[in-house]
Amino acid sequence: MQVILIPGLWLGGESWHDVVPTIDDAGFDAVPLTLPSSPEAQLADWIAAVVARIDAAGEPVVLVGHSGGGNVAWGAADARPDGVSRVIFVDTVPVPDGADISAFPVVDGVVPFPGWEAFDAPDIADLDAGMRQRLAATAVPVPASVPTDPLHLHDRRRYRIPVTVLSGGADAEELDTQLSAWPSYHDEWRAITDREVSRVGSGHWPQFSQPRLLGALIVRAIER
């Protein structure tokens, strides 16, 4: 079974490098994606790139989306509900129809990496100075339309796809409380018939700070 790994904003397929071996060693086929970086690319183009991989697989796949990549994963699952056996969100949640994930300034048609000061301290606490420097140096500007385009969802069969949230710091009760502040997000989450939350005990980027643990949690969710 293919496990399609969708990076978050400013990241490419190489961001999953240290997670892949754990998934492959469990007998699955990890497929890290790098999504279009042209400034003209739109959210629909990122979703289409994932849908193309689903169609090429020939059997149901698992989608794993980190952060802003979760938006893409949920859009692809909605487009191919019969082709996805599980969606795993890494420190993010399913986005409801019509929502966007815009949170950072657009500069000259792209969203550049905003610097570590833009993130809450718990999000980056387990990234040492060297790792932060390396990640900032390799960050790829995101096409402006990707986070600012609203996500359009059409197929309620997405709610029958099992969903796992691998949350950096929140457990299931805490996540539900957080989502209750955003009713449309809470409604989307509650509509999923098979949903679970596993706490990673990490910041926002466990693929760098705790890659083996993240890989093991992905495998456990698939084998659930």
Residue 137 pLDDT: 96
- Contact between 70 and 89 under an 8 Å Cβ cutoff? The reply is yes
Tokens 């986005």 sit at which residue?
95
Residue 103 pLDDT: 92
Tokens 């980056």 sit at which residue?
124
Residue 54 pLDDT: 98
Residue 222, judged by CB atoms within 10 A of its CB (0-12, 13-18, 19+), counts as buried
Residue 196 pLDDT: 98
d(CA 12, CA 33): 7
Residue 171 pLDDT: 97
User: Which domain CATH number covers 84?
Assistant: 3.40.50.1820
d(CA 78, CA 80): 6
Check residue 39 and report its DSSP letter.
T
Strands of the sheet with 84-90, listed across from one edge: 29-32, 2-6, 61-66, 84-90, 163-167, 195-199
Residue 125 pLDDT: 97
What range defines the domain where residue 216 resides? Answer: 2-223
Residue 147 pLDDT: 97
Residue 209 pLDDT: 98
Task: Report how far apart, in Å, the C-alpha atoms of 25 and of each of 55, 72, 167, 212 are.
Answer: 24, 26, 23, 11
Digitized pLDDT (tens) for each residue of the chain, 224 residues in all: 999 999 999 999 999 999 999 999 999 999 999 999 999 999 999 999 999 999 999 999 999 999 999 999 999 999 999 999 999 999 999 999 999 999 999 999 999 999 999 999 999 999 999 999 999 999 999 999 999 999 999 999 999 999 999 999 999 999 999 999 999 999 999 999 999 999 999 999 999 999 999 999 999 999 98
d(CA 192, CA 63): 16
**Number of domains forming the structure of the chain:** 1
Task: Report how far apart, in Å, the C-alpha atoms of 145 and of each of 40, 68, 81 are.
Answer: 8, 13, 24
| pTM for this model (two decimals) | 0.98
